[in-house]
């Protein structure tokens, strides 16, 4: 069984670390990659081709929507079909509509319970993949 890779993209380091800690308890065989902004996320997506991306919308330099747009436009089928779960601090209908049109896999509104995140991640990393 190949090790699953999860890319966690958020400009707040504490949130990345909390997500990694919580997910590693449930998915001990997964590897976790971090990026603090959209540009670094794109670099790591190309380099590591993760199996799942957890992506914050509001970040400096390049926001999560910009990252999602680049993922979906990629010519690489492994990249343009990646499952992406986005985090947003807003319930702005325009933002939600935009990410849905970009074929986001799922999204969470901050603040959220870690159990809610785990349930959403579980849809993409099945028990056989833990």
Question: Residue 25 sits in a domain of what CATH number?
Answer: 3.40.50.2300
Domain assignment present for residue 95? The answer is: yes
Number of domains in the chain: 1
- With respect to residue 79, please indicate whether it lies within any of the assigned structural domains: yes
Would residue 110 count as lying in a domain? yes
Judge whether 47 lies within some domain. yes
Query: Mean pLDDT over all residues of the chain?
Result: 91
130 lies in a domain? no
Give the pLDDT band (50/70/90) at residue 14.
very high
> Residue 102: inside a domain, yes or no?
yes
The residue range of the domain holding 80 is: 5-125
Q: pTM for the full model?
A: 0.92
Region label for 13, one of left (φ > 0), alpha (ψ between -120 and 50) or beta (otherwise): alpha
d(Cα 76, Cα 90) in Å, to the nearest integer?
31
Percent of the chain with pLDDT over 90: 73
61 domain residue, yes or no: yes
CA of 95: how far to CAs of 14, 39, 44, 88, in Å? 24, 20, 25, 9
Question: Which tens digit of pLDDT belongs to each residue from 54-100?
Answer: 999 999 889 999 999 999 999 999 999 999 999 988 778 898 899 99
């Amino acid at each position: 069984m190949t090790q699953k890779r999860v890319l966690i993209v958020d400009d707040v380091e504490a949130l990345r670390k909390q997500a990694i800690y919580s997910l590693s308890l449930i998915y001990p065989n997964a590897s976790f990659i971090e990026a603090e902004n959209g540009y670094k996320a794109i670099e790591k997506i190309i380099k590591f081709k993760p199996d799942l991306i957890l992506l914050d919308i509001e970040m400096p330099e390049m926001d999560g929507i910009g990252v999602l747009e680049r993922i979906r436009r990629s010519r690489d089928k492994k990249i343009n079909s990646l499952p992406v779960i986005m985090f947003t601090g807003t319930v702005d209908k325009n933002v939600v509509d935009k990410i849905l049109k970009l074929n986001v896999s799922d999204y969470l509104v901050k603040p959220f319970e870690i159990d809610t995140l785990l349930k959403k991640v579980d849809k993409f990393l099945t028990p056989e993949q833990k």
